[in-house]
Amino acid sequence: MAKIAIVEDDKNISEIESFALKNSGYEVEVYGTATDFFEGIKENVFHLIMLDIMLPDEDGLSILQKIRENKQTRKIPVMMVTAKTTEIDKVRGLDMGADDYITKPFGIMELISRVKALLRRSGEIKEEKFLSIGGIFLDHEKHLVYVNDKPCELTYKEYELCKLLLQNAGIVTSRNVIMDKVWGTDFEGESRTLDMHIKTLRQKLGEEGSRIKTVRNVGYILE
């Protein structure tokens, strides 16, 4: 089980983050100040750090720099959490060694999706060889999908879409996240492409295709 540190002085936000992460199966420690975090990191081994850029006792970028300078923590993935939306703030964080960032206010689904992706990239979560739900079975190594033990022929994009939904089974995956992960863009003009692929995927999965539910104005969930 991955252990995540939340460094956030706003209790409302840290409680939301903590609740969402714990519900997704992660172990969580919350720190309201830089001082508490640096004490906590002496006693815990974290797989990911969620770091607010604005803290009462020290700037988040300064904390990030210390994390990267410390031999014991330099390889831990860091996600910057910021209310700042200017491009320069994001660039500074990434240049200083942040692995990802998320801007307040953010959706829980986006948060969980980004955390999962970051942990996968860092190697803390190995990509599963097999994924399944109901009668749908995906063999990642062979790049094959079966429905009720029968091969299901999918295009590359349909396969990637099916895999992403299986990886997030039971969790709503936003349209923007799907576009980013499958098509490499969050351009809204491409949203019709997603809708068409979902329609085709449902058809190819047969009765199991009804497991893909549309969450209006948000995205899709496989359950």
User: Which regions of the chain carry the CATH code 1.10.10.10?
Assistant: 130-222
114-136: average pLDDT: 80
Q: What is the pTM of this model?
A: 0.59
Confidence grade of residue 131 (pLDDT, cut at 50, 70, 90): confident
Q: How many CB atoms lie within 10 A of CB 106?
A: 14
User: Which regions of the chain carry the CATH code 3.40.50.2300?
Assistant: 3-122
> Residue 53: its pLDDT value, please?
87
pLDDT in tens, 55-107: 889 988 999 999 999 988 988 999 999 876 666 777 778 888 899 888 888 88
Q: How many CB atoms lie within 10 A of CB 223?
A: 12
> Residue 152: its pLDDT value, please?
96
Burial bucket for residue 71 (CB in 10 Å: 0-12, 13-18, 19+)? exposed
Give me the CATH topology for the region 130-222.
Arc Repressor Mutant, subunit A (1.10.10)
Q: Where are the alpha helices (DSSP H) in the chain?
A: 11-23, 34-40, 60-69, 87-95, 108-122, 156-167, 175-178, 191-204
- Sorted by sequence, the CB contacts under 8 Å of residue 84 that are 6+ apart come out as 53, 54, 90, 103
CATH class of 3-122: alpha beta
pLDDT in tens, 140-170: 888 999 999 999 999 999 999 999 999 888 8
Which tokens belong to 171?
A: 């969790």
Q: How many CB atoms lie within 10 A of CB 110?
A: 17
